[in-house]
């Protein structure tokens, strides 16, 4: 298109009041808003960040204080300017910012009054954006108060650092402005959801040699590593590197330990409120800060088969354009080359987990392994049938007179035929780890252990082999300590005799 000489122009300065209101609605949540403010503190070199919230008072507030390098008044005024930095400028590798908007847009998404107090070289500066004031004056002017006493959180600001205070929390208290108790409940609930998000999003900063500390109302948050790298049963594939024009992408796959190998608390913590099925997938980090997680980017479905797989992707901030990182730093799109590579990663993961499942299935059908249940697959259908040849059944049946024996086998067949398949399906889809084998009482266990032992001893198996066979099958596996004790007692008696 040819450019024409322009002779006329008209003033099109945005209306301060409406544009600043528009900044509120780009889709932040409380957790993504607080994370964006924390990003600034990390970029400013903070080693401790405190979140202070008073939700019960008449005028609730949320404050975020850091001990970073702080700002002069001039820097502060520039920081308050929406669009204070051009997204096309180069940024330091450590800089977590992007558009020069975060502080303002994140804050206004939650509140109508943003106060920032910053201390640098022993000078304290303060600036306030109050949306009601902007609406009234319709001007792009920030207030510069002389007095900072009485600002919530000011006594937490040290010799250098920055305090960000949100007041007039209209969004957070939506619908409850008249009911202080209910309002406090709602805000506190949201804050406790935020806590997990922060533990996850900033875990790598919190795990460093000189760890970043994040406190919420005085309580230090623990990092939450989504790959459970410290757990001895976690499996990590080697990291691979992809060099692109604007930087390197690093990819590493992890397989979480099976829930049997973790404590319940650990398993639930790492699965989060949505559970493991929804938490599998890619975890995308930009400059070590987690920006997206729990998605396969439409490359495959989140399935039971890949439930324990999580793949870490690391990108530098120089690739924002290629990945379409948005203002909230909570969405991104895959560049085509990366997409192809990730498809391969997924194929490998799927092959691997199919193999593990097959192995587990194998165990179940292997005769040597003494299954109580047989898996029978025929003409496209799968059914489970109690294994009447199992020593525990067989030995007992032998002890019965022939006419009762038949009734006994009928009862067992009935149990098999009435397996509650629909309920199992429903539970498997929801929380499969909550389905556990029922415990049997001592008497039943003793009978099962003794009859199994005698059959295996008769088959001339040595004790070591017997123990390793029994260890893998229920009901022995789930009551292993009791089983061991009963084996010892049984063998002991035999040896005495």
Ligand X SMILES: Nc1ncnc2c1ncn2[C@@H]1O[C@H](COP(=O)(O)OP(=O)(O)O)[C@@H](O)[C@H]1O
Residues of the shown chain interacting with ligand X in the complex, contacts defined by CB under 6 A: 40-41, 44, 66, 68, 71, 79, 84-85, 97-104, 162
**Binding-site ranges for Mg ion (CB under 5 A):** 39-40, 97, 102
Report phi then psi at 241, rounded to 5: -120, 140
Please identify, using beta-carbon distances, which residue of 40 and 317 lies nearer to Mg ion: 40
- Whole-number minimum distance, CB 315 to ligand X, in Å? 17
Minimum distance of Mg ion from residue 102's CB (angstroms)? 3
> How far is 340 from 223, CA to CA, in rounded Å?
32
Q: How far apart are CA 258 and CA 36, in angstroms?
A: 34
**For residue 373, which of 439, 419, 434, 421 has the smallest C-alpha distance?**
419
Triad 39, 45, 51: Cα angle to 5°: 55
Nearest residue (CB) to Mg ion, 166 versus 282: 166
Q: Which is nearer to ligand X, 84 or 447 (CB)?
A: 84
Tokens of 138: 């319709």
353 binds, among Mg ion, ligand X, none (CB under 5 to 8 A by kind): none
Q: Which residue is nearest to ligand X (CB)?
A: 97
Nearest approach in angstroms of CB 48 to Mg ion is: 18
CB nearer to ligand X: pick between 103 and 221 = 103
If contact means CB under 5 to 8 A according to the sort of partner, which of Mg ion, ligand X, none does residue 101 touch?
Answer: ligand X
Least Å from the CB of residue 39 to Mg ion: 5
Report what 287 binds from Mg ion, ligand X, none; CB cut-off 5-8 Å by kind: none
Contact of residue 85 among Mg ion, ligand X, none (CB under 5-8 Å per partner type): ligand X
Shortest Cβ distance from residue 205 to ligand X (Å)? 14
Among residues 104 and 203, whose Cβ is nearest to ligand X?
Answer: 104
Specify the residue, 102 or 335, whose C-beta has the smaller distance to Mg ion. Answer: 102
Comparison of 102 and 287: residue with beta carbon closer to ligand X: 102
162 binds, among ligand X, Mg ion, none (CB under 5 to 8 A by kind): ligand X
DSSP state of 368: G
How far apart are CB 222 and Mg ion at their closest, in Å? 25
Nearer to ligand X, 68 or 287 (CB): 68
Pairwise CA distance, residues 128 & 472, whole Å: 66
Beta bridge partners of 125: 118
Check if the beta carbon of residue 66 is closer than 8 Å to that of residue 49. Answer: yes
Contacts of 376 (CB under 8 A, 6+ apart): 382, 383, 384, 385
Considering CB distances under 5 to 8 angstroms, the limit depending on partner class, which of Mg ion, ligand X, none binds residue 104? ligand X
The answer to whether the beta carbons of residues 464 and 454 sit under 8 Å apart is no
| Least CB distance to ligand X at residue 43 (A) | 7
CB of 310 to ligand X, least distance (A): 28
Buried b (16+ CB within 10 A) or exposed e, 199-211: bbbbbbbbeeeee
| Residue 281, binding choice from ligand X, Mg ion, none, Cβ under 5 to 8 Å by partner class | none
The nearest distance, CB 212 to Mg ion, in angstroms, is 16
* CA distance readout (Å), 434 to 191, 260, 310, 446: 28, 11, 21, 26
Return the structure tokens found at 484: 């061991």
Residue 155: Cβ-neighbour burial (10 angstroms; 0-12, 13-18, 19+) = exposed
Q: Compare residues 20 and 270 and give the one whose CB is closer to ligand X.
A: 20
Q: Which residues contact 113 (CB under 8 A, 6 or more apart)?
A: 128, 129, 130, 131, 132, 166, 167, 168
143: DSSP letter: B
Task: Return the one option of Mg ion, ligand X, none that residue 84 interacts with (CB less than 5 to 8 A, by type).
Answer: ligand X
């Amino acid at each position: 298109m040819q450019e024409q000489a322009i002779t006329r122009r008209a003033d099109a300065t945005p209306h301060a009041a409406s544009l600043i209101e528009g900044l509120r609605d780009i889709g932040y949540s409380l957790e993504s808003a607080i994370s964006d403010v924390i990003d600034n503190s990390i970029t400013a070199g903070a080693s401790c960040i405190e979140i202070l919230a008073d939700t019960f008072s008449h005028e609730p507030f949320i404050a975020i204080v850091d001990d970073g390098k702080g700002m002069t008044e001039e820097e502060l005024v520039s920081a308050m300017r929406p669009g204070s930095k051009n997204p096309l400028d180069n940024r330091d590798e450590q800089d977590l910012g992007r558009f020069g908007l975060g502080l303002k847009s994140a804050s206004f998404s939650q509140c109508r009054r943003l106060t920032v107090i910053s201390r640098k070289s022993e000078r304290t500066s303060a600036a306030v954006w109050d949306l009601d004031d902007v609406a009234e004056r319709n001007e792009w002017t920030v207030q510069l108060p002389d007095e900072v006493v009485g600002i919530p959180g000011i006594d937490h600001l040290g010799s250098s650092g920055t305090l960000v205070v949100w007041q007039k929390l209209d969004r957070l208290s939506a619908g409850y402005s008249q009911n202080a108790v209910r309002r406090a409940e709602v805000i506190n609930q949201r804050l406790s959801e935020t806590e997990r998000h922060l533990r996850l999003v900033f875990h790598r900063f919190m795990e460093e040699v000189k760890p970043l500390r994040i406190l919420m109302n005085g309580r230090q948050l623990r990092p939450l590593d989504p790959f459970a790298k410290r757990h001895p049963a976690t499996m990590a594939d080697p990291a691979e590197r992809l060099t692109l024009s604007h930087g390197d992408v690093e990819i590493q796959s992890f397989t979480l330990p099976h829930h049997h190998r973790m404590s319940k608390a650990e398993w639930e913590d790492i699965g989060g409120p949505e559970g493991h099925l929804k938490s599998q997938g890619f975890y995308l980090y930009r400059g070590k800060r987690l920006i997206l997680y729990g998605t396969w980017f439409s490359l495959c479905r989140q399935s039971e088969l890949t439930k324990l797989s999580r793949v870490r992707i690391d990108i530098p901030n120089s690739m924002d354009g290629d990945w379409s990182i948005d203002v909230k730093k909570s969405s991104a799109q895959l560049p085509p080359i990366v997409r192809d590579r990730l498809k391969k990663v997924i194929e490998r993961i799927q092959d691997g987990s199919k193999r593990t499942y097959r192995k587990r299935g194998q165990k179940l059908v292997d005769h040597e392994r003494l299954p109580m249940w047989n898996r029978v697959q025929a003409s496209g259908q799968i059914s489970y049938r109690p294994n009447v040849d199992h020593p525990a059944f067989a030995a007992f049946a032998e002890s019965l007179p022939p006419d009762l024996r038949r009734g006994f086998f009928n009862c067992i067949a009935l149990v098999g035929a009435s397996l509650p398949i629909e309920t199992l399906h429903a539970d498997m889809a929801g929380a499969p780890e909550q389905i556990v084998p029922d415990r049997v009482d001592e008497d039943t266990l003793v009978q099962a252990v003794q009859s199994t032992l005698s059959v295996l001893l008769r088959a001339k198996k040595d004790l070591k082999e017997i123990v390793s066979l029994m260890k893998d099958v229920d009901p022995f596996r789930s009551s292993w300590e009791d089983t061991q004790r009963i084996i010892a007692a049984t063998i002991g008696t035999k040896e005495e005799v």
